Amino acid sequence: MVTMGLLLALSFVVSLLALAFLIWAISNKQVAPDQHDARVIFEPGDEGHVDSGETATSRPYHFDTVRSGIDAVSTRPVAVLLIAATVWLVIGSVFGLVASLKLHWPDWLSDHAALTFGRVRTLHLNLVIYGWLSQVGIAAMIWVLPRIFHTPLRAPRLPLIGAALWNAAVLLGAIAIANGWTDGEEWLEIPWQLDLVLALAGVFFMVPLIKTTLARQVHHIYVTGWYFLAGILWFPCLFVIANLPYVHSGVEEATVNWWFAHNVLGLWLTPIGVGTAYYFIPKIIGKPVFSYAVSLIGFWGLALFYSQVGIHHLIGGPVPTWVATLSVVHSVMMFIPVIAVAINQHITVGQNLWALKESLPLRFIAFGALMYTMASFQGSIEALRSVNSVTHFTHYTVGHAHLGAYAFVTITMFGAVYHMLPRMTGRVFRWPALINAHFWLVVIGFAIYFFGLSIGGWLQGLAMLDGTRPFSESVILTKPYLEARSVGGALMTLGHLVFAFNVASILLPQRVPESVRTVPAE
Amino acid sequence: MTADRRPQRDPRHPDEHFEPYELDASIPWPLLGIAVALGVWGAATLFDTRRHEERAQVERIEDTRLATGQAVEPGHALFEASCATCHQSNGLGIRRAVPPLAGSPFVQHGPELVANIMLRGIDGPIRVNDALYDGHMPSFASVFTDVEVAELASYVAARWGENDRVLEAAEAAELRGRVSDLGSFRGGAGVAEDTGLALGDQPPFASGTLQPVAPEISALIFEGRGGQWSCASCHGDLGQGRENTPRLAGLPADYIRKQLHDFAAGRRLNESMAVVVAELTDEEKQALGAYYSGLRVPSNARPDLGGDLERGEQLAREGDWSLTVPSCFSCHGPSGFGVAPEFPPLAAQHAAYTASQLAAWAGGQRTNSSLDLMEHISSALSAADRRSVADYLASLPPVPAGTGDTLAAQGEDR
């Protein structure tokens, strides 16, 4: 008998086989990265007359981004995006902290509608996703893609226009949310009229990156490029489809909602974070990553499996069982690409632990990459029905979301920013100890936050499942864990203030004399 | 931290112009192994969803059969499940408590009247042959489909009334539409009056439901007082309750008074009720009990917890001695209609409320049952059993049967 289960299983097997074939074909028949690609930008005659002391570009896999003028072009848009992102990070964290405090001080700041929990929490989410993470991600793309393509950023003024539009839309969206005007769906709260502006701003970011890609001077695209290019292709599709007004309704609306909300993590923030880590880890250490074939598995596994993951938020909801089951299976299949990325990144770091001592940015990025592995493993397990029935509707889920969006992506991006800023400005960080302080503040703060919510959330889930205990007990027992969350959140917010200070201190003109070749913070 | 602190000639030291690239290492075999294993698991799990689908198909077919009247079970099984608990399997009833069906002139009039009484219920004195009964026939309108009403009525009329006319489902539907607003029959006299049939000498009907309500009590019920909100704000204008808020209509007056006392004394823990009962005097508790015990309201409870109704029926009718759980009906009366004042009616109580009370006994938030009976029973039941039995009880008809219109009138008459 032909059933939905049979069809699903067949199509699943077919797509797995197709993926395996694709990876096999690329890794065996396509051109493997070689010396030739790395040197493509230089005509045979050129290679000789580079800086005589540092014969960098005459060696394979070496390329001087400063001398080729690439960094100089990227600096302005990257700086603008970084400043804006940092401002939103600080504001967004403050809202997050306020929301956290309100969970155990329920009467605090409850006199104005704009300061009630429902709006403050929503502001936190939208500001850190659209204000901070998206902008710092685009900044990293604008910095890295020209470097790996060996060509300056094309149309470098467009991102400035994009940044102006994007920030205006985020600001107006925040004001709208604070005043109670939202689309009424989690992660999609910004009114669709303002989403139009965000989408338009996105075009101003995409066009220069696509033009730069088309003008690239290398044949082989390094793995970071796959993630970044896929991200700027996937996210606009997700964003536009999910925000279409008057199209989605009822159960289908909820399905689209969670398809979008989870894909923002997996198909936008994850490409940003993984792509960034893939570039900066070998860059800082000076060693290649482990395997081209493994990175293929990591990328194509994400592309194939992630898009169906979000519906596990609707387990037990009125969606067809097979939709939720498909999502559970895809969630668990995410083990494959995650292990692949882990092999490539952690082996490179693990064989060069000395670099962690020397480089503060690497410390952030390696920690973030490790958290990608952790968050993904946890997410795959959390999607199983047996686990989900405990953790759903609890603070455990909130802890998991922060493990992904914060410990992985945000901390990775901190490292990237600390690596980029000295190269953008040609200056050193005046107080490297503050970078160290920032690292430990956010790591310790996050540890308190995560373990508090995970333990508290799990106990809360067990209490809610136990019919012999009143519901109020499941709420009351979370109180000490919520207080721990606020302590952790306060440390993280303090860390963000230190980060903002560090960014400001290097961007503002300095009077101290600078040595030309210092490579700060490493 | 800065270049100054770094050993300048460290051969490991990365140089600024290094470009990240990938080595050509092959895929490690554990990764391939994990990928293949997960792929097999995923395909198997997806293939397995066909079980859910097949189950849903079976349910759909059953629903369709019921809806289109193709169910082939005779009325016998339904009679045993729903009628025999009072009227007995042999249709002889219980002397002085439940009227017989065998030889009853009501049954001899045929399936229409049987169906009519099943749908409306009887609330008032009734004479069957030479015996008088205090009639408490519940209304089964909320319990049976038209097909079931037709089957049962035909079965009863044929077996005990020797009337071979077969009532069709369409006729039962038409009858249901005709009597849906009439409320229960007012005793045997009401049946004779409403149908115009010859039923012998019937005792006169004296309304027990329209007793006067003092204005202060009415204000308590419908408006609240000071910091106390009104009873009706949660339990509904008719005391019909909803989800986790119990149906009060028709509960014994003394039972209600005792529960109000127990809320005040902390033997039942509920934050809303603790506030409400704090200021009530004993007289007010008594008056509230009297008011709600007189209400006649059709059932709005449904089995909506997803419990296993067959298991629930087993627990309610037979108990489960492997768990040392006696049947519900052994104390709460046949069909869970209640034995005043200690054992409240369970029939037509909201499933969410019943299940939450069983959980509260098991969890120690409710400690007011006689001889700790319910504490023991609830603790022995699994969560699934609690849902099953609550769902089954919610599917039973209320007793006494309801008359919605008189009730609404009384509510507005405060």
Q: What is the pLDDT of residues B206-231, one digit of tens each?
A: 654 555 778 888 888 888 888 788 88
At residue A244, the 3 state secondary structure works out as coil
Tell me, which fold does domain A273-512 have in CATH?
Cytochrome C Oxidase; Chain A (1.20.210)
Cα separation, A90 vs A407, in Å, equals: 16
pLDDT, position A43: 40
Tell me the chain A residues in contact with residue B273 when contact means C-beta distances shorter than 8 Å.
none
Looking at residue B77, what is its pLDDT? 79
Amino acid at B258: K
Average pLDDT over residues B40-61: 83
Partners of residue B245 on adjacent β-strands? B242
Given 3-state DSSP classes, what are the helix, strand and coil percentages for chain B, each rounded to the nearest 5? 50, 5, 40
Pick from B5, B8, B10, B21 the residue to mutate for testing the A interface (most A CBs within 10 Å): B21
pLDDT for B400 equals: 63
Q: Are B228 and B276 in contact (CB under 8 A)?
A: yes
What are the domain boundaries of chain B?
75-193, 215-298+401-412, 309-394
- Does A61 contact B50 at a Cβ distance shorter than 8 Å? no
Report the CATH fold assignment for B75-193: Cytochrome Bc1 Complex; Chain D, domain 2 (1.10.760)
Domain at B309-394, CATH homologous superfamily: Cytochrome c-like domain (1.10.760.10)
Query: What CATH architecture does domain B215-298+401-412 belong to?
Result: Orthogonal Bundle (1.10)
Choose the weakest-confidence range: A444-458, B74-88, B249-263.
B74-88
Give the model's pLDDT for residue B71.
Answer: 53
In sequence order, what are the residues at sequence separation of 6 or more whose Cβ sits closer than 8 angstroms to the Cβ of residue A403?
A371, A374, A375, A378, A450
Q: How many CB atoms neighbour CB A112 within 10 A?
A: 9
Backbone angles phi, psi at B268, to 5 degrees: -125, 130
Cβ separation of B355 and A467 shorter than 8 Å?
Answer: yes
pLDDT of residue B67: 65
Average pLDDT, chain B: 81
| Structure tokens, B286 | 């008594």
Mutation site for B-interface testing, chosen from A6, A59, A329 by largest number of B Cβ within 10 Å: A329
Best probe of the A interface among B1, B366, B376, by most A CBs < 10 A, is B1
Contact B26 A293 (CB under 8 A): yes
Please state, in angstroms and as integers, the Cα–Cα distance from residue B196 to each residue in B113, B139, B157, B188, following that order.
11, 20, 19, 12
CA distance B27 to chain A (A): 6
Smallest Cβ–Cβ distance between A6 and the set B22, B47, B363 belongs to: B47
> Looking at this protein, which amino acid is placed at residue B329?
F
Helix (H, G, I), strand (E, B) or coil at B238: coil
How would you write B170-222 as a 3-class SS string?
A: HHHHHHHHHHCCCCCECHHHHHHHHHCCCCCCCCCCCCCCCCCCCHHHHHHHH
* Residues of B with Cβ-Cβ distance to A333 under 8 angstroms: 38-39, 42
The answer to whether residues A312 and A324 touch, using CB atoms and an 8 Å cutoff, is yes
Residue B129 burial by Cβ neighbours in a 10 Å radius (0-12, 13-18, 19+) = exposed
Say what the pLDDT of residue B402 is. Answer: 47
The pLDDT assigned to B137 comes to 82
Cα separation of A91 and A109, whole Å? 17
Asked whether this complex has an ipTM greater than 0.95, the answer is: no
> CB A468 to CB B53 under 8 A?
no
CA distance, residue A171 to nearest chain B CA (Å): 37
pLDDT at site A142: 97
CA distance A104 to A91: 21
The residues pairing with B366 across neighbouring beta strands, listed in sequence order, are B268
Q: Which CATH number fits domain A66-221: 1.10.10, 1.20.120, 3.40.50, 1.20.1250?
A: 1.20.120
* CA–CA separation, A397 and A394 (whole Å): 6
Share of chain A above pLDDT 70, in %: 91
First to last CA, chain B: 83
Whether the CB-CB separation of A114 and A391 falls below 8 Å is answered with no
DSSP secondary structure letters along B330-398: HHH-GGG--BTTTB---TT--HHHHHHHHHHHHHTSB--SGGGHHHHHHHHS-HHHHHHHHHHHHTSPP
A66-221 matches A273-512 in fold: no
d(CA B227, CA B138): 38
CA distance A432 to chain B (A): 6
**Cα–Cα distance, A270 to A273 (Å, whole number):** 5
| Alpha-carbon gap: A44 to the closest alpha carbon of chain B (Å) | 19
Of B18, B47, B271, the CB nearest to A9: B47
Residue B19, pLDDT score: 86
Residues in chain A within 8 Å Cβ distance of B20? 148, 222, 224, 278-279, 281-283, 288-289
pTM over 0.80: no
What does DSSP say about strands B122-128 and B131-137: parallel, antiparallel, or unpaired? antiparallel
Alpha helices in A45-69 (DSSP H): none
State the pLDDT at residue A289. 93
Question: What average pLDDT values come out for chain A (522 residues) when binned by 10 residues?
Answer: 79 89 78 46 40 48 82 95 98 97 93 94 97 97 95 96 97 97 92 95 97 92 96 95 92 93 95 97 92 93 92 87 90 95 94 91 97 96 94 95 97 97 92 95 98 97 90 94 97 98 89 51 50
Which residue of A lies nearest to B366 if distances are taken between CA atoms?
A: A468
Decide if pLDDT at B262 tops 60. yes
Which is nearest to A294 in space by CA: B37, B29, B27? B27
Q: Where is average pLDDT lowest: A111-115, A161-165, B47-51, B358-362?
A: B47-51
- For chain A, the structural domain boundaries read 66-221, 273-512
Determine the pLDDT at residue B102. Answer: 87
| Residue contact A292–B1, C-beta within 8 A | no
Smallest Cα–Cα separation from A126: which of A174, A163, A65, A73? A174
Give the residue ranges of DSSP H helices in B79-197.
84-87, 105-108, 111-120, 146-160, 169-179, 187-195
How many DSSP H helices and E strands does chain A contain?
Answer: 21, 0
Interface of B with A in 380-399 (CB under 8 A): 383, 386
Length of chain B: 414
User: Taken in order B350, B352, B356, B359, is the CA torsion positive or negative?
Assistant: positive
* A:B CB pairs within 8 Å: 197
